[in-house]
A = this chain, B = another copy of it.
Amino acid sequence: MELELAARQLEALGNLTRLKVFRTLVRAGHDGLPVGALQQRVDVPASTLSHHLRRLIHTGLVVQERQATTLICRAAYPAMNALIDFLDEGEHRGRSAGPASMST
C-alpha cells in the first residue's frame, strides 16, 4: 500500500460525519445500505452526505452499486484491512474478510 493512498484514506475517515457513515456501513455488512437509509441514520442534509460519500468512494473505502433509482453503498472491507495492515507495518493477523462473521 502506498503512503499517499493510506494518508488520504485516513484523512477521509478522520471526519466525524464520514467516520459515522463508514462505521454504519461496516455494521451493515455485505448487503450495504441505500444512501437514503444512511442519511436517516447519520442525520445530515443530503447534499452534505453526498459530498462525504464521494470522498469515501474516491479513496476506495466505500463502493456503490445502482439498483434502479437507489444507490447501495457498501464498506470496502479489503481496503479497510489493507489500511489496517499498513498502520501495523504489515503485521498480518488473520482478520476476517468481511463483517463480524460469527462462527464457521
Contacts and interface: CB of A to CB of B under 8 A. Distances in A.
Interface residues of A, number: 31
23 contacts: A3-B19, A3-B23, A6-B19, A7-B13, A7-B14, A7-B15, A8-B14, A10-B10, A10-B11, A10-B14, A10-B19, A11-B14, A11-B15, A12-B14, A13-B14, A13-B87, A23-B87, A26-B88, A80-B88, A84-B84, A89-B99, A89-B100, A93-B94
A58 interface: no
A13 B16 contact: no
A4 interface: yes
Interface of A: 3-4, 6-16, 19-20, 23, 26-27, 80, 83-84, 87-89, 91, 93-96, 99-100
